[in-house]
Amino acid sequence: MIWFKPHCVSMELKERIRFARFQAGFRGHGSLARFSRETGIRENTLYCYETGRYAPSAAKLATIADTTGADLSWLITGREQNERK
């Protein structure tokens, strides 16, 4: 899978989660429900992550990263592992 990640560190966690889901092909009607089944995370919980109502635990972020193919470090920080501060 080819990943195109914005190099904008100002992207919030909720936006990175949604972006990762979209890049992994979970978009369109019913995509959040499909993503929920794939990750084992409740659909309502995923919705709350993507709207910023609350943040996922480290374990849930790891699950999202594994399912989408996103880099966990990028998902957490918005930076690539090899990027300097």
The C-alpha angle 81, 73, 75, rounded to 5 degrees, equals 130
Element (H, E) at 21: helix 13-23
User: pLDDT tens digits, residue range 33-67?
Assistant: 999 999 999 999 999 999 999 999 999 999 999 99
Which pLDDT does position 11 carry in this prediction?
87
Residues 6+ apart with CB under 8 A from 79: 9, 73, 85
Instruction: Please choose, from the candidates 79, 80, 75, the residue with its C-alpha nearest in 3D space to the C-alpha of residue 50.
Output: 75
Report the predicted TM-score, pTM, of the whole model to 2 decimal places.
0.84
User: pLDDT tens digits, residue range 13-23?
Assistant: 999 999 999 99
CB 39 within 8 A of CB 33: no
Domains of the chain: 13-75 (1.10.260)
